[in-house]
Amino acid sequence: MSDPSAGSPGPEPIRIADEDLDDLASTLARTIAEVRQHGVLLDRLGGDPDPGGAEEPEAESTDEAEADGPTSVFILAMGGAEYAAELAALGNWITHVLLPVYGREIGSTRPWCARWYEHPEAVARLHGLWLAWQQLTDAEAGLIGPSTWHRDHLDHALAQLRSPDGPFAACTTSPSRPSHRVLATPDQLGAAA
């Protein structure tokens, strides 16, 4: 048999108008950012799913989605290594995205604590803020996603966290206050009961 493509010329090159190149470059940049974000999420999800060993037989239930997936993506429902990994990822986002962009000057009217991870309310609020950021900065959120994140999530969360009577209120005057503590995970709560 002869190769039918051997005698035919290659496809015509695609020509893009100069005014459309910026749109194409912007779309490509968003796609690359989305792929990187998915890679980070896949790395987190690809960790050791169950360090305890094989699944128990009762994992087979009538609700397959509930048996196969996590019961919650919220950090307060996690324990052990899963909690530690999520807290580390949250800390990375806070250090490299949230604080450099939105971490205004610290004062008695706008406190912040470098040991935010020892404030259970702060961990919960910051994690919720980060989850919303992941969803609303994804390309599928559309062009209005980031604005929605600012209005509906960031502004409210920072107002609560950095209010003069919020979780960091005493941290600007007494960094070693007794309420600094590591958040108890569901594993630890079950062991204490």
pTM above 0.75, yes or no: no
Rounded to whole angstroms, how far apart are CA atoms 114 and 69?
33
pLDDT score for 11? 77
C-alpha 52 chain-centroid distance? 26
pLDDT score for 177? 55
Beta bridge partners of 107: 110
> Rounded to the nearest 5 degrees, what angle is found at the Cα of 124, between the Cα atoms of 143 and 30?
20
Rounded to whole angstroms, how far apart are CA atoms 142 and 36?
18
pLDDT score for 49? 44
In order along its 193 residues, the chain shows pLDDT tens digits of: 555 555 667 777 777 777 666 666 666 666 665 666 656 555 655 554 444 433 433 433 444 444 455 577 888 888 888 888 889 999 999 999 999 999 888 877 888 888 899 898 999 999 999 999 999 999 988 999 999 999 999 999 999 999 988 988 878 666 555 455 555 444 544 444 4
